Structure 1
Amino acid sequence: MTDRVTYHGKSAKGEDMTTGHHNYASLSRHAFEQPERFWGGVAERLNWTRKWDQVVGEGQGPIPRWFGGGQINACYNCVDRHVEQGFGEDTALIYESPVTGTSRQLSFRELRDATARLGGAMRQQGVTLGDRVLIYMPNSPEAVIAMLACARIGAIHSVVFGGFAARELAARIDDATPKLILAASCGIEGAKILPYQPILDEACTISAHQPDGTIYWQREQHQADLTGARAMDWVTELAAAEPVACEPVDATHPLYILYTSGTTGQPKGIVRDTGGYLVALSWTMEGLYNCPPGETYWAASDVGWVVGHSYIVYGPLLNRNATVIFEGKPVGTPDAGIFWQIMAKHKVRSFFTAPTAIRAIKQVDPDGDLAAGEDLSALQAVYLAGERTDPSTLEWIEILLGKPVVDHWWQTETGWAICGNPLGVEPLPVKPGSTSVPMPGWQIECLDEQGNPVAANETGAIVARLPLPPGAAPTLWNAEERYVEAYLERYAGYYLSGDAGFIDEDGFVYVMTRTDDVINVAGHRLSSSAMEEVLAANPAVAECAVVGVHDELKGQIPAGFVVLKAGVGATVEELCAELVQDVRREIGPVAAFKRVHLVSKLPKTRSGKILRRNIRQIADGEEPKVPATIEDLSVLDEYLQLFEKREEKS
């Protein structure tokens, strides 16, 4: 990299764009009134090969392109520059894998050398600027190295969960047309070893596009067969490769494609620009997550999700934070105390997980006994996202840890938080049930069916006024028209989030449900989340879901599905009657809430989102359209049996 422009985190007038003397109101106002100056000031914290011509400019459609004319490299900013600045021996990656009994750490220098070698190995396989590389790995340092090595040489990576089904994998191969695959030989799902090679081989048999080959990181639990012409060994290829330097790319160059399930069954490839994404993440690490350089950050997610991209890999490393990579589950590997043990061991300052993980811990260890005795003095706050955080879960974890808990809201499409509590700028009051306030650059409104703003505390479709801030996806891979149809056509001048909720008189946003999860009872539009909030407040309930099922008279009526905490003593009849009365008291008779089903588990995606649509489809006698990201397909059998029995009785 030559002719690098180096800045030091201040705007031209010396204002700190991240924390400093700004309070939330002035920071938000500044970002709204002067986006070029605000985001330009943040961008000056990064190292650019060539400075941008303009901070924000016209895109191909309504979504703007950020830092046009600028050139930058994500791997350089996440790794190499820290080594050059004297932090090479600082810890970059902390790997904790209770499923294999493995713990290890990599310094920034070791991470730089590994990415340079892998980048060289990919170059030897003919991968060049703009080529796609598919990554099929479990949570591991090698997955992070693979992502950064792609960024290093300007290749566009597309991470797919290790263990993802062959047919879904084939659809992604055909859409992204990767030149090369980087894979692990296996993954570990609980106590099971899952070989990846048979899945990859089947996917390549199904797909029309054929990658040139696969480099396998061989794990001792199971090894891939490398006798085939297109299978290569990770260690061998890296040893034979010459290290490569970072390749500058345009700020608008795609850093990655991340697939998310679409309503049509065809996966949507979310495209992420390099420059704007790095700038947005740079602001969040201190402004939102209050995690200064040198501290330890842990997002208990998976690299296959957007949280893993943003806050296992790019965000923390960009900010010179040690980042924890966890291969395991919040319970059962080995127990519900594993989160607290890892936080204490590595002095984690900021911790990010899904509400469903906290609910799983609460179900197994309702009194939080496994957290007792762990030194969590370094922990400053817990951040929850991925599924709405009900107030009872927020209160439980807040009391247990004695730390602030931030419920914040964002999407795969946005790449970072739309709303949150900016603890690094100004801690705002916690309002249980609210995702707090819009982050800088996000202008959030609630609209009715006709596109008119609703009054404070009235439910509507949550939208973001255009233009969107940096980091948000500018398009879909090979599907620009589909992007416009999915997000921009419904309300002119707005991005459609697909979520429904309300904004209170103080500007705090309450994301209550997906718009297609609103229950219409005899013309009354009711939020499933509001009823779930009531159910979850019962001390016997670990987690729950409410869906609207078909009713001949009222159109829909709500049905509750409840998982109990361990050791609950009440009878089924008593508890169900109590829950029905709770909802009728808090929501009112208009909800027509009369049905509660006790279940052992809720069906979820691997990121923890409850599959309410699948529950509703089964209840209505439809064939469930199950997403490929479902965590455990067998969970749906309980629901099929539940409603078969109900039909038999009726």
Structure 2
Amino acid sequence: MSDSTTIHAGSAASADPGANSYETAAARAAEDPNGFWLEAAALLEWTRMPTRATDDSRAPIHRWFPDGELNVCHNALDRHVAAGRGQDVALVYDSPVTDTVREFTYAELLDLVSRFAAVLRDKGVEKGDRVVVYMPMVPEAVVAMLACARLGAVHSVVFGGFSATELAVRIDDLRPKAVVSSSCGIERSRTIAYKPLLDEALEIATAKPEFTVVVQRPQLQAELVDGRDFDYAELLAATPEGAPCVPVKATDELYVLYTSGTTGKPKGIVRDSGGYATALAWSMPNVFGLNPGDTMFTASDVGWVVGHSYIVYAPLLAGVTSVLFEGKPIGTPDASTFFRIVSEQDVNVFFAAPTAMRVIRKEDPDGAMMKKYPMPHLRAWYMAGERLDPDTYEWTTTTLAEATGRSIPVIDNWWQTETGWPIAANPIGLHEYPLKAGSPTVPVPGYKVAIVDAAGNPVPAGNEGLIVIELPLPPGTLATVWGDDERYISSYLSAFDGYYLTGDSGYIDEDGYLYVLGRTDDVINVAGHRLSTGVMEAAIASHPAVAECAVIGVHDETKGQIPRAFVVLGDGAKDADPEALRKELVALVRSEIGPVAALKEVDVVAALPKTRSGKILRKTMREIADGRDAVVPSTIEDPEVLERIRVAITG
């Protein structure tokens, strides 16, 4: 693979002198990564400042700051209190499902975290031990994560409400000393009992934790097993003194976060301490334009990577107020919830998945709910987690402008569980580039992105190919797969020597903007023509009757594959004639892409099957359409929706 194929962050064409801050940072990160990231490490307080940036002695696995030592919790809490910012708000808990809004200052959060760390320490949790956190979106989840970091213990957050079987799989893989959980989770119309799921998981698992700690919520109390289960509030009340921070090596694990594996066995993505803290601390002012005293509202979940990075760690490391939201974008009580919080909490940067905006648009197509609340402090509206289709981008941009009377940038940013922070974004803290619909803009400094064909050969600008990243990956990205270096190498580093395979396809245009078209298995081959289902979805989504859509490739004897579309109609289009709509959508795709797309089948459905983080289960739908045994991920939001899709596909 030629070096000329690598697009270093900073190669976006621009004659604007204002771009120099981005281009200078990007060029420095590419040409002198050691010096660049050692400078970035100075954003943190270290018990032993690193003198080396990287260790490549086990290449292709690279480690960051091998001789550094620090504590991530100290950097997130203690140092801000010591600097006189103890009374500044660190965390705002907004829970419309319990009608609760509560603020925690840095001093208050430090007190809770240090005392819960003492609780865990007194029960035997030590540096290097693992702790599973199985919690809803409550402050105690943040406390548990930071308490583990304070002790040098490794936390693994499992999305609250996961099945007992999936929880047991993670417990067996991680072999934790303890589990911290809650009596229940609360949704719009139901209360989900967590403790019975935890009890069942502990019965299934062969690796038994020594104890559990349970946060008893007033909406549903759990029965505790004597000698194994302990009440969180009682333990905290009996522990008036906090535990000090335990220094750890920069290369020591901070957390393990599981993502679905192709073998069916979840992959435990390992995040280190020093590299992750450095990358996140650098990203806040430079990528997101956020500094101490600002407020960030990330509408995700701590069970996902976005929640780890931009609800918990990055805001607190940067001295920024973070909003912890327990609820849904609609139905709590309506489609105005996000905008109420942005208004009430003087939010500067909002961050959510495109799915959230699509469901809001479906319920409130004219944006009337958005316009109810003044949002004078809002500077940017970020989207990630799945592809931001141009239609959702345009609607959000237009409606925000109408609601605020200002042009609010709606910024796509692309990254993965594995990378831990953005690969590509509009780095508004360095330079705000003109936005292009369908593009997350440019590679973030530190990421050297290239586009290649299946043989690893470079492709010209504007041509689609596989997106890869030159090694070493920047700090903050995955260190390995838990307990399995070989799986890390075979899954990500073996396809092309010296490169990380992202698993996504896309292209880079003449201006250096990156376009991510979707996972490589979302590219279909119609009579020898490689077509992106994402491009077809963008065309279909532009129809005013369509609120949401998914296109999959299904097997065809003649053409190899043909596309099939599933659409969800907006509330104002429920009475549309399905056959007339099908003809309009087929004509729209033909106009946008050409007859080669061969779209003929369009199904109108009530909802699309998704994971709890909002990703549409295209792969599962494709397996059903091809008559294969469909692998249903444990993260599915509503199995009944998938069953209705199965009926629609199979007839």
TM class, shorter-length:
over 0.9
Shift of 1:226: 2.1
Please report how far the alpha carbon of residue 227 of structure 1 lies from its aligned counterpart in structure 2 after TM superposition: 4.3
1:643 match = 649
Instruction: Determine the structure 1 residue equivalent to 2:501.
Output: 496
The corresponding residue for 1:46 is 44
- Summarize the alignment of residues 88-487 of structure 1 with structure 2, pairs less than 5 Å apart: 88-241=86-239, 242-402=241-401, 403-487=408-492
Shift of 1:584: 0.7
Q: Distance in 2 between matches of 1:54 and 1:21?
A: 29
Q: CA deviation at 1:238?
A: 1.4
TM-score (ref. length: structure 1): 0.95
The question of 1:619 aligning with 2:625 is answered yes
Determine the structure 2 residue equivalent to 1:520: 525
Residue of 602, 609, 612 corresponding to 2:615: 609
1:161 and 1:186 mapped to 2: Cα distance?
12
* Identical positions, percent: 54
SS in structure 2 of the partner of residue 597 of structure 1: strand
Asked whether the 8 Å contact 1:306–1:412 carries over to 2, the reply is yes
> What TM-score comes out, normalization by structure 2 length?
0.95
Offset, 1:156:
0.2
Other structure's SS at 1:542 match: strand
How far 1:341 moved relative to its partner? Answer: 0.5
Tell me how far 1:240 sits from its aligned partner: 2.1
SS of the counterpart of 1:341?
A: helix
What per-residue deviation string (whole Å, max 9, x for no partner) do you get for residues 237-291 of structure 1? Answer: 1122331111111000100000001111100000001001011001111111111
Counterpart of 2:53 (choices 32, 52, 55) is 55
Alpha-carbon deviation of 1:435? 1.1
Match of 2:596 among 573, 585, 590: 590
CA contact (8 A) 2:625 2:650 kept: no
Partner of 1:3: none
Aligned AA for 1:230?
R
1:68–1:250 Cα contact (<8 Å) kept = yes
Residues 506-558 of structure 1: per-residue CA shift (max 9 Å, x gap)? 11110001001111111111101010010011111111111001111111100
Compute the RMSD of aligned alpha carbons. 1.1
- Displacement after TM superposition at 1:642 (Å): 1.1
What is residue 11 of structure 1 aligned with on the other side? none
CA 1:21–1:392 in structure 2 vs 1: closer, same or farther (change >3 Å)? Answer: closer
Q: Secondary structure at the match of 1:200?
A: helix
CA contact under 8 A between 1:381 and 1:405: conserved in structure 2? Answer: yes
CA contact (8 A) 1:438 1:444 kept: yes
The CA distance in 2 between the partners of 1:544 and 1:272, in whole Å, is: 34
Instruction: State the SS of the aligned residue for 2:476.
Output: coil
Q: How much has 1:622 moved relative to structure 2?
A: 2.4
Q: Supply the AA of the counterpart residue of 1:404.
A: P
Q: 2 CA distance for matches of 1:155 and 1:373?
A: 45
Aligned to 1:85, what secondary structure does the other structure show? Answer: helix
Distance 2:119 2:256 in 1: 21
CA distance, structure 1, for counterparts of residue 138 and residue 279 of structure 2: 25
Checking the alignment, whether the CA contact within 8 Å between 2:355 and 2:614 is kept in structure 1 is: yes
Equivalent AA in structure 1 for residue 273 of structure 2: T
Pick 1 or 2: higher relative contact order, CA cutoff 8 A, min separation 6.
2
How many correspondences in the alignment?
626
Taking the aligned partners of 2:102 and 2:325, their CA distance within structure 1 comes to 11
Unaligned runs of 5+ in 2: 1-17, 402-407
Matched, 1:579 2:585: yes
Q: Distance in 1 between matches of 2:484 and 2:299?
A: 31
Query: Which amino acid letter does the alignment assign opposite residue 388 of structure 2?
Result: T
- Which amino acid in 2 is paired with 1:37? G
State whether residues 117 and 239 of structure 1, in contact with CA within 8 Å, keep that contact through their aligned partners in structure 2. no
Q: What is the alpha-carbon distance in structure 2 between the residues aligned to residue 221 and residue 624 of structure 1?
A: 37
Deviation at 1:188, TM superposition (A): 1.2
d(CA) in 2 for partners of 1:340, 1:452: 46
For residues 322-349 of structure 1, give each alpha carbon's deviation from its aligned partner in whole angstroms, at most 9, with x where no partner exists: 1000010001111111000010000100
SS of residue in 2 equivalent to 1:637: helix
- Residue identity opposite 1:644 in structure 2: T
1:81 aligns with 2:87: no
